[in-house]
Amino acid sequence: MLINWFRFSSPVSFYPVAGSWSYAFGAIAALLAGAGLVVALYIAPADATQGDAYRIIFIHVPAAWMAMLIYLVMAGWSALALGFNTRLSAMMAQALAPTGALMAAIALWTGAFWGRPTWGTYWAWDARMTSTLILLFLYLGIIALRAAIEDPRRADRACALLALVGAVNVPIIYFSVQWWNTLHQGSSISLTGAPKMAMTMLAGILIMTIAAWCYTIAVVLARVQAIIVERERGAGWLESLIDLRAAR
């Protein structure tokens, strides 16, 4: 199937597509999250050493992966925005930042409540925890920087630069458990080699991860719609949307 992707590079043609995709991915996310929660909280057996405390992994790991992935995607859109000066790329980067911050916050929050029963502390200045906290601050910094600059096109460029510079933090988070020998454990799942956990646990994590992907796509597309309407006001094509929405 041949799709003319350039058609979607302008807000005008992307807007209706974003709406329908948002609802579709939202529905898939809800279904997967429901199934994933049943596996996570009910089907998966208790861990031999951690008991039921380990069940936090089913939100902690997908959220932490998502927080890093969203940053890379945001940096990618930022690079496109800087390189080609395209409005929609900058809008995508703008729409991704709050959800990235949310995922980083969830990873830190769930990690604290997992660390207390297993390590004996809610927080430590461990390499991975600290670098993930910096990731959260980067997201919040990008959001604050945009809010501080009046002209949206200047804000686009400033935020894109900050996003690109901050991208250096993502490999630091990823490799932190190898580079420094502090509290956080190494990864139990890798692309090479067998995972070090039971099949139902692995299945639960993968279902929740796909749910997190779909959720992110759904909520970011909904936010980019709001951003398009906020920023393209005054452009004639938006007026026809009012009739569209009233007819719904």
Partner 1 sequence: MSEFLAMGGYAWYVWMAYGGAALAIAVEIASVRARRKRAFDELRMSVEPTLRSPSMLGARGDR
In angstroms, give the least distance from the CB of 82 to partner 1: 25
Q: Is 105 in the site for partner 1 (CB under 8 A)?
A: yes
Q: Is 229 in the site for partner 1 (CB under 8 A)?
A: yes
Report the Cα–Cα distance between both ends of the chain, in Å, rounded.
30
When binding is defined by CB under 8 A, the residue of 42, 148, 185, 191 that contacts partner 1 is 42
C-beta separation of 35 from 204 below 8 A? no
Q: Is 52 in the site for partner 1 (CB under 8 A)?
A: yes
Q: How far apart are CA 94 and CA 165, in angstroms?
A: 16
Q: Is 128 in the site for partner 1 (CB under 8 A)?
A: no
Tell me which residue of 224, 210, 15, 205 sits closest to 99, measured CA to CA.
Answer: 224
Q: Is 67 in the site for partner 1 (CB under 8 A)?
A: no
When binding is defined by CB under 8 A, the residue of 32, 55, 127, 184 that contacts partner 1 is 55
When binding is defined by CB under 8 A, the residue of 16, 17, 38, 51 that contacts partner 1 is 51
Q: How far apart are CA 178 and CA 185, in angstroms?
A: 9
When binding is defined by CB under 8 A, the residue of 94, 99, 169, 209 that contacts partner 1 is 99
Q: Which is nearer to partner 1, 82 or 93 (CB)?
A: 93
When binding is defined by CB under 8 A, the residue of 85, 165, 230, 237 that contacts partner 1 is 230
What distances in angstroms separate CA 88 from CA 94, 113, 232, one per listed residue?
A: 10, 38, 11
Q: Which is nearer to partner 1, 113 or 175 (CB)?
A: 113
Please count the other Cβ atoms lying within 10 Å of the Cβ belonging to residue 120: 8
Q: Is 63 in the site for partner 1 (CB under 8 A)?
A: yes
Tell me which residue of 101, 22, 32 sits closest to 66, measured CA to CA.
Answer: 101
Please count the other Cβ atoms lying within 10 Å of the Cβ belonging to residue 128: 23
When binding is defined by CB under 8 A, the residue of 17, 27, 46, 72 that contacts partner 1 is 46
Assigned token pair, 118: 């297993």
Q: Counting Cβ atoms within 10 Å, is residue 51 exposed (0-12), middle (13-18) or buried (19+)?
A: exposed
In angstroms, give the least distance from the CB of 168 to partner 1: 27
Query: Which residue is listed with tokens 């993930």?
Result: 132
For partner 1, the binding residues (CB under 8 A) are: 41-42, 46, 51-53, 55-56, 59-60, 63, 98-99, 102, 105-106, 109-110, 113-114, 116-117, 215, 219, 222-223, 225-227, 229-230, 233-234, 238-239, 241-242, 245-246
